[in-house]
Copies of this chain bind each other. A is one copy, B any other.
Amino acid sequence: MKIGIIGSGAVAQTLGKRLIGLGHDLVLGTRDPDKLDDKKMFAATLREWKSQTDERARVGTFKEAAAHGELLINATAGEVSLDALKLAAADKVGAKVLIDVANELDHSKGMPPRALASQERCLAEKIQAAFPHLKVVKSLNTIGAPVMVDPKALGGGDHTVFVSGNDADAKATVVALLKSFGWTDVLDLGDLSSARGPEMYMGMWIRLWGATKTPMLNIKVVR
C-alpha cells in the first residue's frame, strides 16, 4: 500500500521502517527534506534513518507524503499537528484515511511532560473538524514507538491497542494494518469522540513510564 507519514521524529521513523519492512511504498514527510542531518530528539537524523532502513526509504515534504499515500499517518508532535497538516495540504487530498497517533504534550514545565488532553481538548476531533474530508482514526497514541510496531516484544503481545473513528471501513483498514504489526487485541472504542479516552490516558501513560522507568509498557484490558 502507498503510505504517507506526516512527521519525521522517533515515532514516524519507527513506523516508517516497519512499514517498509512489510513491503509498503512509503514517503516520510518532513518540514524541510533538505535537512537530512538535523539532530532529532530521541531519534536518528533522517540520513541515518535512510541508511539504517532500506534503499526504498524515501523522505519528502509534508505535501509530497500526503499526496503519495493512499493511507496517511499523523506522527507529528500533537502541538503542531494542525499546522503540519495544513502545510501538507491535507484539505486537498480527498477522502483518505488518516491514522492519528499523536498526543498534545506540554514540555514547558519540565519533566514529566504534561498531557494536555481533556473532554474539551481532543486532537483527533480537532483534526477531523479542520479536515472534514479525511477519515480520521485515532490509534497507537497510547503506546511507545518500539511497542507500536512490535507488540510481541512486550509480554508476548498479550496487551491492547485501541481504535476510534467515525468511518467503519476506515477503522477496518487500520485494524488490518495493526494486525500486520502483530496486534491481536484491538479494541474498537466507538466514534471519534471516544478518542478523548486514549488521549486523556496519555496523562496516565506518562506516570506509568515514570513509575516503571521504561517506555516498554502497555496496558491489557482485562474483561
Contacts and interface: CB of A to CB of B under 8 A. Distances in A.
A222 B221 contact: no
Nearest to A220: B220
A193 to B, nearest CB: 9
Nearest to A114: B119
Q: Decide if the interface of chain A is mainly helix, strand, loop or mixed.
A: mixed
A198 B200 CA distance: 10
A197 B203 contact: yes
A149 B32 CA distance: 55
Contact of A210 (B194, B198, B217, B222): B194
Contact of A200 (B154, B164, B203): B203
Contacts of A117: 118, 200, 203
Copies of this chain, tallied across the complex = 2
Interface residues of A, number: 42
Contacts of A119: 106, 114-116, 203
A189 interface: yes
B223 A220 contact: no
A38 B40 CA distance: 61
A196 B207 contact: yes
Interface in A93-116: 106, 114-116
Nearest to A194: B207
A148 to B, nearest CB: 14
Contacts of A155: 222-223
A219 B221 contact: yes
A1 interface: no
Interface string A189-223: 11000101111111111111011101011111111
A158 B189 contact: no
Contacts of A159: 220, 222
29 contacts: A106-B119, A115-B119, A115-B200, A117-B200, A118-B200, A155-B222, A158-B222, A159-B220, A159-B222, A164-B207, A187-B208, A187-B211, A189-B208, A189-B210, A189-B211, A190-B211, A196-B207, A197-B204, A197-B205, A197-B208, A198-B204, A204-B204, A208-B221, A212-B221, A214-B223, A216-B223, A219-B219, A219-B222, A220-B220
